[in-house]
Amino acid sequence: MLKKIKKLVKGERSPKEGLLVERRDLVREHVEEQMVAATLAEAGLHRDAQDVIQAGLLARPKVLLVGREDRISDPVMHYAVGFAERMGYEIVALNVVPLPVGSSRTPAALEAIVREYEKSCSESVKKLQEMCAARGIPCTHVFKTGTVEDCVREIHDEMKRIEFVISEPDIPQEVMSRGEPWVVPVYSLAH
């Protein structure tokens, strides 16, 4: 999805070419939550009904921070923390291991690769979590396997109120380290 949006922004593809626009029905989700609360209240579970309503009201908006492979660069990390602090958002850090399709490796070998990758991702996110804790920003780390596009879609469906995606720029690491100006990509996940 991110690659498609980048190509669209760069003018490499037409807006109608293979771009899937999905809308989440937030009104329906809200009504369903209210119906669950009403059902619980009618059953005499008033405290549970109040908890359902409070959970919906207290859900903070979130920004999804997508790392490159098993790390998130310092400039992107600092940008995301500043963004979340200014906007009052939570941060959900996402690392994705792209498993090869049709690989000749055994499932046990792939599982070992995934475990090692997940350990490396967890270590790289510790600095982000420390920065967030120092500023009072809730931070969650999520690890998924698959394509980045599919994982972003899954997270968006699983977690409520993810409104923006911040990702690593699609430029070589040596360009970033030379100090040349570059832009941190930020995308809106409109519902």
By the 8 A CB rule, do 137 and 90 touch?
A: yes
Q: How far apart are CA 155 and CA 190, in angstroms?
A: 14
Residue 92: its pLDDT value, please?
93
Summarize the confidence of residues 98-108 as an average pLDDT: 67
More confident residue, 109 or 17: 109
Q: Which amino acid is at 29?
A: E
Which residues on neighbouring strands pair with residue 188, listed in sequence order?
164
Alpha helices in the chain (DSSP H): 2-10, 26-42, 46-58, 74-87, 107-135, 148-158, 173-177
- Could you read off the pLDDT of 26-46 as tens digits, one per residue? 566 667 777 888 888 888 888
* Closest to 67 in 3D by CA, of 92, 91, 96: 96
pLDDT band for position 7 (cuts 50, 70, 90): low
Residue 90: CB partners within 8 Å, gap ≥ 6? 60, 61, 62, 63, 84, 137, 138, 139, 140
> With 90 as the cut, is the pLDDT of residue 81 above it?
yes
pLDDT at residue 174, rounded to an integer: 73
Lowest-pLDDT choice from 8-17, 119-128, 143-152? 8-17
pLDDT at residue 21 is higher than 50: no
- What are the structure tokens assigned to 59, written together? 């859900």
Neighbours of 81 (CB within 10 A): 20
How far apart CA 148 and CA 2 sit, in angstroms, is 8
Please determine, for residue 190, whether its predicted confidence score (pLDDT) is greater than 70. Answer: no
pLDDT of residue 165 exceeding 70: yes
Say if residue 22's pLDDT is above 90.
no
